[in-house]
Chains A and B, each alone.
Chain A
């Protein structure tokens, strides 16, 4: 069974702090994604990566950056956290084949005060 692990389930940070959200998958998947989940807005894609050191902007990349130095790890970085980045963050991975299902992590609920 695919395991996607997010380092923290709950995180509280102050405005202006630099925040790192870590995600690790154990199935050698090529694709990795960071989504943000807000009520009524569904899952919105922040960034994704289809290979090591490759990254592509999603629908809402502003205020975020990512890093993929190793195939199994995809990090989301908030350079200077703001209160409007309070949200649930979901990491996902999928194999490189077309139309492969996404495997999600349990999510990190980030609160920025």
Chain B
């Protein structure tokens, strides 16, 4: 089955700096890579996703890049703000699984210091 590794497990940045979270996956058939944000005490919510036919996607201050050859993808947050503090999860979906089953990484706790 799919295996997703996520690094770092914790990340502390100063407000205004950039933050980068990296994930690797094992199944070369995976074709969909979402990122979820979980604020303290709240449910995970989708913030951005990328499909395997695209190398990069941006949405305001967040961007995701995908390198299919190396089987890794990254989340980039620019101009970080205190409200970006949360746990971020990457995930991957193999191309041939029913029900949109995702395999998640272990999560990254991002702390943005004012």
A64 within 8 A of B: no
> A-B pairs with CB below 8 Å: how many?
65
B103:A59 contact, CB within 8 angstroms: yes
A48 within 8 A of B: yes
B40 within 8 A of A: no
A42:B99 contact, CB within 8 angstroms: no
Q: Which residue of A lies closest to B31 (CB)?
A: A99
Whole-angstrom CA separation of A11 from B107 in the bound complex: 24
- With a cutoff of 8 Å between Cβ atoms, the chain B residues found around residue A50 in the complex are 98-99
B residues 63-108 in Cβ contact with A at 8 Å: 89, 91, 93, 98-107
A48:B49 contact, CB within 8 angstroms: no
Shortest CB distance A34–B (Å): 12
Shortest CB distance A17–B (Å): 26
B46 within 8 A of A: yes
Contact of A40 among B32, B98, B100, B106 (CB under 8 A): B106
Q: Which residue of B lies closest to A95 (CB)?
A: B100
B43:A59 contact, CB within 8 angstroms: no
Contact of B93 among A4, A43, A99 (CB under 8 A): A99
Q: Which residue of A lies closest to B91 (CB)?
A: A43
- With a cutoff of 8 Å between Cβ atoms, the chain A residues found around residue B34 in the complex are 99, 101-102
What 0/1 pattern do residues 1 to 44 of A give for CB contact below 8 A with B? 00010000000000000000000000000010101000011111
List A residues at the B interface (Cβ < 8 Å).
4, 31, 33, 35, 40-45, 48-50, 56, 58-59, 90, 94, 98-102, 104-107
- Going nearest first, the 10 A-B pairs with the smallest beta carbon separation are A50-B99, A104-B43, A43-B104, A42-B104, A101-B46, A42-B106, A99-B32, A31-B99, A42-B107, A104-B44
